[in-house]
Amino acid sequence: MTKAHASVDDVLDALGAVRAMLEADGYALTVDDLVDETAHITVRATEAACADCLAPRAVVAEILLNDLSPVAGVSRVELTYPAGSAAH
């Protein structure tokens, strides 16, 4: 029996806590695609974004990967961060 691969909805569900954290600081997280066990994720600043609140890209990528560890078919994260952010 093989494991079913994750859907975008599965990934979004697994990232609920980090999405809420980012939203509280004025950022939106989207899952753009799932290809070859890689979740392509984008963090975008909203008008209410707190520039000093955004953790470094490497830290957020590690948190995302950790939160996705129980999701079948996802073993990597490709993270796009807001251009020009200090945490980029």
**pTM for the full model?**
0.86
Q: Is residue 2 part of a domain?
A: no
Residue count (the chain): 88
Q: Is residue 34 part of a domain?
A: yes
Structural domains counted in the chain: 1
Q: Is residue 85 part of a domain?
A: no
Per-residue pLDDT tens digits for 35-74: 999 999 999 999 999 989 999 999 999 999 999 999 988 9
E strand or H helix at 84, and its extent?
A: none
Q: Which domain holds residue 60?
A: 8-80
The CA distance from 66 to 33, in Å, is 18
Residue 80: strand pairing partners: 42
Per-residue pLDDT tens digits for 1-43: 344 578 999 999 999 999 999 999 999 999 999 999 999 999 9
